[in-house]
Amino acid sequence: MKLNQKKLDDLEWVLDNLFFADWQNQEDEPYILVEGLKGESYEYMEKQLTEDLERALETGEVNNMDEFDLVIKYFRNMQQEGFIE
């Protein structure tokens, strides 16, 4: 899927704010718990998220925008709660 400018801006904003995530398991392989569409949660590893974001910004395309939309939502919620400016 080709990304429009708003999606690219959102993904770049997420990449710039990874530091503020509520990383779990920080001693080993940090990950965030992202809430899925049906209420389930899944783990997104920090290294994988960083690589996926960088690849999406470099190519302007993603295979599955749904996962990125959930990550964007996770970070926007953190912003609303005051953890990110």
In a domain, 63, yes or no: yes
Q: What is the pLDDT of residue 55?
A: 97
Enclosing domain of residue 59: 5-80
Q: What is the pLDDT of residue 38?
A: 82
| Pick from 81, 77, 61, 59: nearest CA to 14 | 77
In a domain, 64, yes or no: yes
Q: Which two tokens stand for residue 1?
A: 């899927």
Per-residue pLDDT of the chain (85 residues; tens, 9 = 90+): 999 999 999 999 999 999 999 999 988 999 999 988 788 888 999 999 999 999 999 999 999 898 899 999 999 999 999 999 8
pTM of the model: 0.91
- Cβ neighbors of 81 (< 8 A, separation 6 or more) are none
Q: How far apart are CA 32 and CA 6, in angstroms?
A: 23
- How many structural domains is the chain composed of? 1
Q: What is the pLDDT of residue 5?
A: 97
In a domain, 85, yes or no: no
Burial grade of 56 (CB within 10 A; 0-12, 13-18, 19 or more) = buried
In a domain, 43, yes or no: yes
In a domain, 18, yes or no: yes
